[in-house]
Amino acid sequence: MSRKFAFYGRVSTEDQQDPEASRNWQLSRARQLVDAHGSVVEEFFDIGQSRSLPWKRRPEASRLLAALRNPDRGFDAVVVGEPQRAFYGNQYSLTHPVFEHYGIQLWVPEVGGPIDPTSEAHDLIMGVFGGMSKGERNRIKIRVRSAMHSQTEIEGRYLGGRPPYGYRIADGGPHPNPTKAADGKRLHRLEPDPVTAPVVERIFSEYLDGIGIYAIAEGLTRDGIPCPSAHDPARNRHRSGVAWSKGAIRVILNNPRYTGFQVWNKQRKHETLIDVDDVALGHRTQQRHNTLDQWVYSTEPTHQAIITPDTFTRAREVAASRAHGTKHRTRTRVHHRYVLRGLLYCGLCDRRMQGQKSRHQLYYRCRYTQEYALANTVDHPTNVYLPEHGILGALDDWITTSLQPPHLERTLDALTAAEDTGPDHSAHAETQRIIDDCDTKLVSHRRALEAGADPALVTEWIRETQARRTEALARLRPATETRKLDRDEIRALITKIDNTRDLIHHADPTDKAPLYHQLGLRLTYHPHNDTVRVDMIVDPDRLGLWCVSEGGLRHVVVAFLRNQGMHALKDSCLDHHGAMSLHQRGGGAPR
């Protein structure tokens, strides 16, 4: 009997490998193992995902786990091209029981066929490969950091990344590695940018003359000088670039690279557990600043200085003297659970409002004009505050009625109409165009890398393009599995969600945050009329089943409607709008 296999593989952009080439050799290795027993009918291949991420946090691996639960899946076994790329640390022991539970064999070349869950030898072999994968990652980290330390301190080499504001990247001569030099690779160095270097000199000069950082930002904005993100938008697509900020001025004043010395290790990647009570969720990687004693300086100047070391030292002394009269309090990091974190926006500037605790109450605030020198070009109060307790009750009331009659009938009408229209061929064509465009860009990025472009910059381009391509591929796949649902089936699915709405009022506020995110809520606070606009996108990929456990609202299973034939609704999500007045609910006033 010929078996049907699903293939799983993974490649990380940190490996500096061609994703297509990596996929091909892993798939070829998998086929050599299973060709005599069947064929590979479906592929799951993660691109740009670290091996340290658990399977549930890798897009394709997570999709594979979801497919195991589907009794109508098109395969009856899974083959892995290389276990060291699939499993890291103890991931095998946490993942294989899921395969065993659903009766799906896992084939690995290193054991010559399917893994026998009763074999101690097989279990030991897979544990060894997980340990080898973790050890290899740690060895790479140690080697890379040691090499970068010596290259900065001894050679003064520019190690890549975006150049500081005031500098631009210039050719630094042939690469010292003979093999890379033969391929045309060259080193890079920093040289003053004739447009922005005078701005850096002006910032230091004005600061030493007694002008504060916000006044400096105001002056630069008023004179029409683009801020760093506006000057280089290609590297700052995540920033608006509307004006100079206090943070940008502060970063420039604290950067010793303007003195001509190379500096490295100002920041580090720090891994923290996502949940200390569930280690299987893995770590979250965050950038953290190192202390000054951990910075690594080159022993000699490596590029042309914009300011003298004496000027930089005096600027640091001025900053220290201005902070001398400030009372410093020992800060204790306290984690408050803001229920609406990331969901609440300011209606004046469309920026996310930040959480702040004051007088034992949780607030959300927007201090846009205190950070950015907008030179009075925007009508925005100094501070906009909104207390959390003044909105949760009204929000729960709105959610309770949003999927009940008459809203439920309108929801059914919209969803049924979406089913009747069938698949959106124009959207399918647009998605395919995005994939083709990404393929073209990947080819051009590789050519740029071979031509000697900055490896760090090109790697970032490749990572972004691959992420966009993976997202587009994920939108294409469900189209082949669409099944049309009638009105009664849609009503039954929505009713399962609606039946638990009365539990929201009695749930602990911190247990509501996952629900608000699953419902796709976006809240916009308009301080002038003290109202909050609520937009809810009912996305089939987000909705799940909820229940009460030990008095709290807890998400116990995400029943993706994709597995229930709801693909046709994915691109036709119902958009609900609501507005809640906060005049009688403790709304915050701008000040």
Distance CA 561, CA 329 (A): 51
Q: Where are the beta strands (DSSP E) in 517-571?
A: 521-526, 531-538, 545-549, 552-557
Task: Output the pLDDT for position 510.
Answer: 67
Task: Output the pLDDT for position 320.
Answer: 86
In one letter, which amino acid is 35?
Answer: D
Of the candidate CATH numbers 3.90.1750.20, 3.40.50.2300, 3.10.100.10, 1.20.140.10, the domain formed by 167-262+298-324 belongs to 3.90.1750.20
Beta-bridge partners for 557: 545
Please check whether residue 149 is in contact with residue 266, taking contact to mean a CB–CB distance below 8 angstroms: no
Residue 49, exposed/middle/buried by CB under 10 A (0-12, 13-18, 19+)?
buried
List average pLDDT for each run of 10 residues in the chain, which is 591 residues long.
91 72 91 93 91 90 92 93 91 92 93 91 91 89 90 89 91 86 87 95 94 90 90 78 86 94 90 80 84 92 94 92 62 68 84 82 80 64 81 77 63 59 58 80 71 64 73 60 59 58 66 75 85 69 36 30 30 40 44 46
Place of tokens 């709105």: 398
Whether pTM > 0.75 for this model: the answer is no
Distance CA 348, CA 384 (A): 10
Task: Output the pLDDT for position 328.
Answer: 52
Residue 333, exposed/middle/buried by CB under 10 A (0-12, 13-18, 19+)?
exposed
Task: Output the pLDDT for position 574.
Answer: 33
Residue 298, exposed/middle/buried by CB under 10 A (0-12, 13-18, 19+)?
buried
Distance CA 52, CA 59 (A): 14
CATH of domain 3-138: 3.40.50.1390
Please check whether residue 365 is in contact with residue 356, taking contact to mean a CB–CB distance below 8 angstroms: yes
Please check whether residue 531 is in contact with residue 347, taking contact to mean a CB–CB distance below 8 angstroms: no
Please check whether residue 515 is in contact with residue 546, taking contact to mean a CB–CB distance below 8 angstroms: yes
In one letter, which amino acid is 435?
Answer: I
Structure tokens at 197: 């270097």
Distance CA 374, CA 348 (A): 14
Structure tokens at 582: 């906060």
